[in-house]
Amino acid sequence: MEPRILDRADHPISRRDIDPNVLKVLYRLIGAGHIAYLVGGGVRDLMLSRQPKDFDVGTSAHPQQVRDLFRNSRLIGRRFRLVHVFFGSQNIEVATFRRPSEDLADAADPLIRHDNTFGTPEEDAFRRDFTVNALFYDPQTFRVIDFSGGVEDLEARLIRSIGEPELRMREDPVRMMRAVRFAAKLGFELEPATRAAIERHCGDLTKASVPRLVEETFRTIGQPQAASALAMMEELGLLEPLLPFLSEHLKSTAFDDREAPTLTNLAALGRAFSGGLGPDRSTILAAMFLDLSRAQADAAEDARLDLLGVLRARGFARGDTENMRLLLDAFALMVTPNRRTRRLLRRPYFHEARRLFEICAPTYGIDDAPLRRFIADPDSILQPQQAAPEGATAGGRRKRRRRRRSRHRGTGEARLMLESHGVAPQAEANGGASSNGASAHHASADSSETASRDPDHHD
Q: Clarify whether 56 is annotated catalytic.
A: yes
**Which among 45, 124, 129, 172 is annotated as catalytic?**
129
- On whether the CB atoms of residues 169 and 161 are closer than 8 A, the answer is yes
Helix (H) or strand (E) holding 22: helix 20-31
Count the alpha carbons within 13 Å of 314 in the hemisphere toward its beta carbon.
21
Instruction: Tell me how far apart the alpha carbons of residues 299 and 307 are, in angstroms, rounded to a whole number.
Output: 13
**Which among 7, 10, 19, 54 is annotated as catalytic?**
54
Size (the chain), residues: 459
Please report, for the chain, how many H helices and E strands are present, in that order. Answer: 23, 12
| CA distances for 318 relative to 222, 322, 323, 412, 428, angstroms | 19, 6, 8, 76, 82
Q: Supply the angle between the helices 350-360 and 281-297 in degrees, to the nearest 10.
A: 60
Instruction: Tell me how far apart the alpha carbons of residues 199 and 271 are, in angstroms, rounded to a whole number.
Output: 29
Instruction: Tell me how far apart the alpha carbons of residues 384 and 376 are, in angstroms, rounded to a whole number.
Output: 17
**Which among 7, 10, 17, 56 is annotated as catalytic?**
56
Active site residues: 54, 56, 129
